[in-house]
Structures are given as structure tokens and as C-alpha cells.
């Protein structure tokens, strides 16, 4: 995604420069013959024409400045996305490793849950940060006129946000599992199997459903021809 987003940033920044250049050249081209014609007119008509030309130039200048500021803001946002993504990658890997473990003893299971709790907390914080950035960058692109090559990124960014939101929603099930697991040592040994079946197994099923929901989002994106990051397609077994 980042390399793709950085490419679009450069292309769109160039497009913005090109638009600015076109406006500037057009303005200069129009002002020259207009100025020659003005010399034959009365002073009052000259003032009116010059006022119109200056007003138009000011409007164009303001629009170019607004666009430049918007692109600068997008560059900052994509930089923040890259930073959060780099920081969150090892947290995600550690979370996935622990979440996919299949302990065979109670002590191993409890240890896995103890290790998972702080990792989940860090992972959720990064996911929430990323979700906020994805929402903001999409809004910035929608406000950009013209959107240029940024427009092509909106479908991918929307898919990434949907997956992130599904992930955040699924985190509550892991939190619930950890909370239920903490109660296990206090449950009489003869009742632990029943407790696990009635309290924890339904939560594990919800965790699995979250993973399937994310896979469904990715499959839909691929079917629609949305250009997704290759590493994500590989992660979901869709490459």
C-alpha cells in the first residue's frame, strides 16, 4: 500500500504542478492581447477590464494555493500512515502468532492469554490510529479538486478501512476470551471443561467469524478488481 500511495502522491503532486503551470500560462496568454486592446479603450473601461483580470488571477491563485495545501496535507497523512504501519507490523505479527497458538494444557493456555493481553492492547491502539488516518485521508482526497491519481486510491483505502474496523470489532472477542480465561483457575477442576465449553468456546467461534469476515471483504475487493497491496493478498491466500 505505501509504495503505491507514495507513487500516487508523486503523480498527483506533479499533476497539481502541471495544473498550476497551465493556469499560469493561460493567464499570461490571455492578459497580453487583452492589454493591447485596453490601450484603445476609455480609462473607465480599462479599469473595469483590469479589475476583472486581477480578480480572476486572484481566484486562480487562491485555488492553486488551496490545492497545494491539500496535497501537502495528504503527503503528511501518508507519511503518518507509513509510520504507524511500520510500528504496528511487529505488533500485528506477535498478536497473530499468539492468537493462532493451540495450547494443549491449562497452564499453557493461561500463559498464552497472559502474553496476549498486553500485545492485544498495543495492537488495538495501532489499529485505531490507522483507522483514524484512513478516514481522514479519504476525506482529504474527496475534498481535493481535481482529485487526479489520488481518486484511484479511494476504493483500496475504503477496503483497508473496512478490514481495520472489522479487526477492531473482533478485538473485543479476544478481550472477552482473556477475561474468561482469568476466571479458569478459580473454577473447580471438575467444572473447568464445562466452563470452557459454555464460556470460552463461543468466544473462540466469534474470533473465527471475524477472520472469515475479513477474508470475505478481501475476496469481494479482488472480484471487483480493486488494486490491493500484494502482501495483503498473499496474507489472505488470494495472490
Q: Mean pLDDT by 10-residue block, N- to C-terminus, for the chain (239 residues)?
A: 39 34 30 33 46 53 68 85 86 91 92 96 92 91 81 89 92 96 94 94 95 93 89 83
Determine how many CB atoms are found less than 10 A away from the CB of residue 205: 11
How far apart are alpha carbons 70 and 145 in whole angstroms? Answer: 9
pLDDT at 216: 95
Question: 157 with 132: CB under 8 angstroms?
Answer: no
pLDDT at 132: 92
pLDDT at 152: 85
How far apart are alpha carbons 221 and 218 in whole angstroms? Answer: 5
Domain boundaries defined on the chain: 2-235
Determine how many CB atoms are found less than 10 A away from the CB of residue 137: 23
How far apart are alpha carbons 79 and 10 in whole angstroms? Answer: 13
pLDDT at 199: 95
Please, what is the angle between helix 43-99 and helix 2-38, to 10°? 180
Grid coordinates belonging to 15: 499533476
pLDDT at 58: 53
Residue whose C-alpha is closest to residue 192's, from 115, 109, 117, 116: 109
Locus of grid cell 466469534: 206
Query: CB neighbours of 30 closer than 8 A, spacing ≥ 6?
Result: 53
* Total residues found in the chain within this entry: 239
pLDDT at 169: 93
Query: CB neighbours of 64 closer than 8 A, spacing ≥ 6?
Result: 16, 19, 20, 23
Angle at 69 between CA 68 and CA 75, to 5 degrees: 90
Question: 215 with 236: CB under 8 angstroms?
Answer: yes
pLDDT at 27: 30
The pTM score is 0.69
Determine how many CB atoms are found less than 10 A away from the CB of residue 43: 8
CA 172 vs. chain centroid, Å, equals 21
How far apart are alpha carbons 183 and 38 in whole angstroms? Answer: 88
Amino acid at each position: 500500500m505505501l509504495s503505491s500511495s507514495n507513487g500516487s502522491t508523486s503523480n498527483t503532486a506533479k499533476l497539481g504542478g502541471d495544473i498550476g503551470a497551465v493556469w499560469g500560462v493561460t493567464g499570461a496568454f490571455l492578459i497580453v492581447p487583452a492589454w493591447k486592446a485596453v490601450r484603445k479603450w476609455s480609462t473607465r473601461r480599462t479599469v473595469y477590464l483590469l479589475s476583472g483580470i486581477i480578480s480572476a488571477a486572484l481566484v486562480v491563485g487562491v485555488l492553486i494555493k488551496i490545492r497545494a495545501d491539500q496535497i501537502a496535507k495528504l503527503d503528511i497523512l501518508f507519511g503518518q500512515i507509513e509510520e504507524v504501519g511500520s510500528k504496528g507490523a511487529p505488533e500485528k505479527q506477535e498478536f497473530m502468532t499468539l492468537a493462532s497458538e493451540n495450547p494443549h494444557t491449562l497452564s499453557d493456555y493461561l500463559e498464552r492469554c497472559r502474553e496476549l493481553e498486553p500485545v492485544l492492547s498495543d495492537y488495538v491502539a495501532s489499529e485505531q490510529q490507522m483507522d483514524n488516518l484512513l478516514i481522514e485521508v479519504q476525506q482529504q482526497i474527496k475534498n481535493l479538486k481535481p482529485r487526479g491519481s489520488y481518486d484511484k486510491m479511494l476504493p483500496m483505502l475504503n477496503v483497508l478501512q473496512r478490514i481495520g474496523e472489522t479487526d477492531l470489532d473482533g478485538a473485543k472477542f479476544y478481550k472477552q476470551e482473556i477475561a474468561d480465561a482469568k476466571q479458569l483457575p478459580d473454577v473447580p477442576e471438575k467444572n473447568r471443561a464445562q466452563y470452557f465449553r459454555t464460556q470460552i468456546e463461543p468466544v473462540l467461534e466469534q474470533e473465527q467469524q471475524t477472520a472469515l469476515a475479513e477474508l470475505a471483504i478481501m475476496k469481494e475487493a479482488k472480484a471487483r478488481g480493486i488494486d490491493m497491496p500484494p502482501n495483503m493478498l498473499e496474507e489472505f491466500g488470494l495472490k
